[in-house]
């Protein structure tokens, strides 16, 4: 491993897995490598991953699948339900390779990771990045792109430009910044969504370069708060986004649509309890605690808009915690307060907020913390990580869970479950005068 040379300028790279969910489905199906593939959201509603070949057919991210069924049928597009266990496992394999190459890696999302490139000699950025891309693809089957820049925001722009030009890696050096930013819509800047983009366009700020060079700091702060001011500094080459800020989520949510209409309160409690378990697992993974939880229940907005119903409520705990049991009890109390008899609920979800680091948490003088909770939660997380999410869960989550979302086109968990392993057959040629040989099977 190369030692970090402090005399070299600060540079950041971001590795982005291309059409990640679609690429994961192709790993164990080599015949799909050049064919159009899409992956559907929870309950098989919208497209959340579209392969390059599918994009050429006019299929777009976020589009409801029922609106493009004719295109899918006509061009024989392969459609898969989301298989998050498969995607999570392949994501861990990609991140493991990055950790082997360099210890200063920060996973930003399931398919993205930032890498501190300060150890790479100037001039070798793209060469080193291409080697990383080749190794990741060779060992996982997942195609990736790497963008490199003076800051993380510039690296994100470099990654997008690399994808458009079909390059494995791209380094946006200082001499190339102006041309790249002039060609980048302000809405493509990391952290600027459609709402902020509309505000900026009202003040004739349409490109990333115009945003960077805008002299009116109070206006930028008024339009985009302090976050916009920091993004502008990032585009100027001043690193402002700390790695810890990206890794720690300020709000954790878990929402799902049901596979059928749910009328029964007990089933709603089961669903919400399950979602709380998922969220608390993420909360503990980032070594945080939280104090607030919000729950919402809603009917379908597409069937009969006149009877559409949505209700939500929230509870603040006495002290911050990451105990699944405490949050589950609070969530069930909210469900019982919101529930309306004979209402066809289609979706429910929970939000955990007021998140803070567990270290240095102030203790409530009037509440004695149960010393058994932390080891219990740790054991539950370890079992679920080894044997699959939901192996151990709260009793209020139920056992049958008939309300679960539809996943009619879900692929096998090939590398996670024994019964889903790929079966390989070896045919032995038959010799004259001998009996037919038995087929050899290996798993």
pLDDT digit string (tens) for 269-299?
A: 999 999 999 999 999 988 889 989 999 999 9
pLDDT digit string (tens) for 209-264?
A: 999 999 888 888 888 888 888 889 999 988 886 655 554 556 888 888 888 889 99
Strand partners, 316: 292
- Position 425 pLDDT exceeds 70: no
Secondary structure E strands in 278-430: 288-299, 310-321, 345-357, 424-426
Residue 390: the pLDDT is 81
Q: Which of 112-116, 187-191, 245-249 has the lowest average pLDDT? A: 245-249
Average pLDDT, the chain: 84
**How far is C-alpha 184 from the chain's CA centre?**
24
Residue 110: the pLDDT is 87
Band (5; pLDDT cuts 50, 70, 90): very low
Two tokens, residue 295: 């729950």
d(CA 326, CA 277): 11
Residue 365: the pLDDT is 59
d(CA 99, CA 133): 14
Q: Quick one: which of 14, 23, 31 has its CA closest to 52?
A: 23
Two tokens, residue 205: 């700020």
Residue 4: the pLDDT is 42
- Position 6 pLDDT exceeds 50: no
Number of other residues whose CB lies within 10 A of the CB of residue 65: 16
Band (22; pLDDT cuts 50, 70, 90): very high
Percent helix / strand / coil, the chain, rounded to 5: 40, 20, 35
Two tokens, residue 287: 């070594």
- Position 1 pLDDT exceeds 50: no
- Position 117 pLDDT exceeds 90: no
Strand partners, 147: 14, 170
Cα distances from 189 to residues 193, 211, 234, 414, in angstroms, run 8, 10, 10, 37
Two tokens, residue 66: 């029922």
d(CA 105, CA 99): 6
Domains observed in the chain: 1-172 (3.30.70.270), 177-247 (1.10.150), 248-397 (3.30.1490.100)
Q: DSSP letter string over 235-278?
A: HTT-----HHHHHS-S-EEEEEEEEEEE--HHHHHHHHHHHHHH
H or E element in which residue 12 lies: strand 12-17
Q: Quick one: which of 147, 144, 122 has its CA closest to 133?
A: 144
Q: Quick one: which of 76, 401, 163 has its CA closest to 267?
A: 401
Show the DSSP H helices in 102-216 as ranges.
125-140, 152-164, 177-182, 194-201, 208-213
Does residue 160 sit in helix, strand or coil? helix
Number of other residues whose CB lies within 10 A of the CB of residue 98: 21
Decide if 69 contacts 112 (C-beta within 8 A). no
pLDDT top residue among 207 and 319: 207
Entry pTM: 0.71
Q: Quick one: which of 177, 283, 195 has its CA closest to 238?
A: 177
Residue 229: the pLDDT is 87
**How far is C-alpha 154 from the chain's CA centre?**
21
Q: What percent of the chain has pLDDT over 90?
A: 47
d(CA 375, CA 398): 23
pLDDT digit string (tens) for 38-64?
A: 999 877 888 999 999 999 999 998 888
Residue 436: the pLDDT is 52
pLDDT digit string (tens) for 131-174?
A: 999 999 999 999 999 999 999 999 999 999 999 999 999 999 98
Residue 358: the pLDDT is 79
Residue 357: the pLDDT is 82
Band (331; pLDDT cuts 50, 70, 90): very high
Q: What are the phi and psi torsion angles at 110 (to 5°)?
A: -60, -25
Mean pLDDT of 91-98: 92
Task: Give every strand in the sheet of 105-109, ordered side by side.
Answer: 105-109, 112-116, 12-17, 144-149, 169-171
Phi-psi region of 264 (alpha: psi -120 to 50; beta: other; left: phi over 0): beta
d(CA 54, CA 72): 9
Residue 279: the pLDDT is 92
pLDDT digit string (tens) for 381-402?
A: 999 888 877 888 999 998 888 7
Question: Among positive and negative, which fits the CA dihedral 415, 418, 419, 423?
Answer: positive
* Intra-chain end-to-end CA distance of the chain, in Å: 37
Cα-trace Rg, the chain: 25
Mean pLDDT of 372-382: 90
Residue 226: the pLDDT is 83
């Amino acid at each position: 491993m190369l030692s970090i040379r402090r005399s070299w300028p600060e540079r950041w790279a971001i590795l982005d897995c291309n059409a990640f969910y679609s690429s994961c489905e192709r790993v164990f199906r080599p015949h799909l490598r050049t064919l159009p593939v899409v992956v559907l959201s929870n309950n098989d509603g919208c497209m959340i991953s579209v392969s390059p070949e599918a994009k050429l057919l006019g299929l777009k991210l976020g589009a409801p699948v029922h609106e493009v069924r004719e295109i899918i049928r006509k061009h024989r597009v392969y459609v898969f339900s989301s298989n998050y266990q498969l995607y999570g496992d392949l994501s861990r394999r990609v991140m493991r390779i990055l950790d082997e190459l360099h210890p200063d890696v920060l996973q930003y999302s399931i398919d993205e990771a930032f890498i501190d490139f300060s150890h790479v000699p100037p001039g070798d950025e793209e060469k080193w990045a291409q080697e990383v891309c080749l190794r990741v693809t060779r060992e996982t089957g997942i195609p990736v792109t790497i963008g490199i820049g003076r800051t993380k925001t510039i690296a994100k722009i470099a990654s997008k430009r690399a994808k458009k030009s079909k390059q494995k890696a791209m380094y946006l050096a200082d001499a190339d910044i102006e041309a790249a930013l002039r060609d980048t819509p302000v809405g493509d800047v990391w952290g600027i969504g459609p709402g902020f983009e509309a505000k900026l366009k009202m003040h004739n700020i349409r490109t990333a370069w115009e945003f960077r060079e805008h002299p009116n700091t109070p206006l930028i702060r008024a339009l985009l708060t302090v976050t916009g001011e920091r993004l502008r500094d990032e585009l100027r080459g001043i690193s402002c986004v700390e790695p810890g800020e990206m890794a720690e989520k300020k709000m954790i949510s878990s929402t799902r649509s049901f596979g059928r209409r749910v009328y029964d309160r007990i089933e709603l409690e089961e669903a919400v309890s399950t979602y709380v378990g998922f969220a608390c697992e993420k909360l503990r993974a980032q070594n945080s605690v939280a104090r607030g939880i919000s729950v919402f229940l809603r009917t379908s907005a597409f069937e009969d808009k006149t009877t559409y119903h949505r209700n939500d409520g929230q509870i603040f705990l006495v002290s911050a915690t990451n105990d699944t049991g405490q949050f589950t009890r609070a969530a069930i109390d909210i469900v019982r307060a919101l529930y309306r008899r004979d209402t066809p609920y289609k979706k429910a979800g929970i939000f955990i907020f007021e998140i803070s680091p567990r270290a240095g948490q102030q203790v409530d003088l009037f509440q004695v913390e149960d010393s058994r909770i932390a080891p219990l939660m740790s054991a539950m997380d370890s079992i679920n990580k080894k044997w699959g999410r939901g192996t151990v869960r709260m009793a209020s989550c139920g056992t049958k869970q008939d309300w679960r979302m539809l996943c009619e086109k879900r692929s096998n968990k090939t590398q996670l479950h024994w019964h889903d392993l790929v079966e390989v057959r070896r045919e032995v040629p038959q010799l004259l005068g001998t009996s037919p040989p038995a087929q050899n099977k290996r798993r």
